[in-house]
Amino acid sequence: MDIWRGLTEVPADLEGSVVTIGVFDGVHRGHQTLMREAAQQARERGVPCVMVTFDPHPLTVFLPGRQPTRLAPVDFRITLAEAEGVDAVLVIDFTRELAGVSPEGYFTTMLVDVLHAKSVVVGENFTFGTNGEGTEATMRELGAQHGVDVTIMPLLHDEDLRICSTLVRDFLVDGDVARANWALGRRYSVRGEVVRGAGRGGKELGYPTANLYLPETVALPADGVYAGWFTITDDRVIDREISRDIDGDMVPGVRYPTAVSVGTNPTFGDERRSVEAFVLDRDADLYGHHVMVEFVDHLRPMVKFNGIEDLLDAMAADVAKTREILAWDKELLDAATPTD
């Protein structure tokens, strides 16, 4: 996978490409259809498939403070794109200057002069250039002028719903991570560094949690408790001598079952919204590690309990339900994993 951060990093000797363009926040099922079509065309032509994406989100420039929460940071978008057959990713810094480029300038500079595109694949709602003046018709006209094939893909609909990033965010706001996962075609996940929390989970309650630091721009499910998976994403194995693992070391890249709390801790009067993961059957020192938490299903809303005993009863029920849900989910994971 080649990653080019800006037009100047694209190799001058690139002899051709098939390009798909978009923000691709979330890389949901609709985005995946674009990438797969572009990858197929690239294989047929014997050229690389290039995804062009933008960072930051365009609305961050036009509506600062009102931009949508982020479903997938750019580095994760790149990882997901590679899984769909994309060979290279061009990350464009979205600025007001870029937004002011005419549709023709946008097309000729990026697609013709730099990427030497043989074909372009976009969704039917794609617009480009000054004030979004470049439409499907504009794209086809410019393609004909410059000898670039243009494929306009219809938007993906399922169950009378248009699969889009807004739909995913709406499901998350409702706490319906199962439906968000359906729209994404994978489990929704967040990634961050484990930081020190209040420390009461292990000391007072017997449920040590990994507290994730996440920017406020990251999309989170509604406040509540969820069943999910926990994965260490850096390369450091947790040392058995400094951990208290019940069942051996925690290994990077391995999914571990987890109960996840999203939101504040009303029982203790905490007002800061956070993500805390209780990894089942583990008690390792995870501070400073980079991890991923995947959400599988919603267990219950966030509740203010009358006392610690009521909270402990609820947490025990959460763990039992998590085991039940993830036993079923693991069967799906195993079925989707190729074997030699």
Per the structure block, which two tokens stand in for 256?
């571990």
CA angle 315–318–322, rounded 5-degree value: 145
The pLDDT of residue 76 is 94
Is the Cβ–Cβ distance between 261 and 223 less than 8 Å? no
The pLDDT of residue 202 is 46
> What is the DSSP-derived secondary structure letter of residue 206?
S
The pLDDT of residue 234 is 86
Chain-centre distance of CA 325, in angstroms?
22
Is the Cβ–Cβ distance between 281 and 171 less than 8 Å? no
**Topology of domain 187-336, per CATH?**
Elongation Factor Tu (Ef-tu); domain 3 (2.40.30)
The pLDDT of residue 250 is 81
The pLDDT of residue 333 is 65
Evaluate whether 2-156 and 187-336 have a shared fold: no
Segments making up each domain of the chain, as ranges: 2-156, 187-336
Region at 256 (left for phi over 0; alpha for psi -120 to 50; beta for the rest):
beta
The pLDDT of residue 285 is 80
Q: Is residue 309 flagged as an active site residue?
A: no
Query: Which residue has tokens 């029982």?
Result: 267
CATH superfamily placement of domain 2-156: HUPs (3.40.50.620)
Q: Which residues pair with 294 in a beta bridge?
A: 189, 229
> Which value, to the nearest 10 degrees, does the dihedral of the CA atoms of residues 284, 286, 290, 296 take?
50
The pLDDT of residue 240 is 46
pLDDT in tens, the chain (340 residues): 999 999 999 999 999 999 999 999 999 999 999 999 999 999 999 999 999 999 988 888 887 777 899 999 999 999 999 999 999 999 999 998 998 999 999 999 999 999 999 999 999 999 999 988 999 999 999 999 999 999 999 999 999 999 999 999 999 999 999 999 999 999 999 999 999 865 554 445 668 899 998 888 999 999 999 999 999 998 665 554 444 443 446 888 889 999 999 997 655 455 567 899 999 988 778 889 999 999 999 999 988 888 888 888 999 999 999 999 999 887 776 665 544 4
Is the Cβ–Cβ distance between 90 and 51 less than 8 Å? yes
Q: Which of 37, 84, 276, 294 is catalytic?
A: 276
Where does 198-307 have alpha helices with state H? 200-203
Q: Which helix (H) or strand (E) holds 75?
A: helix 74-83
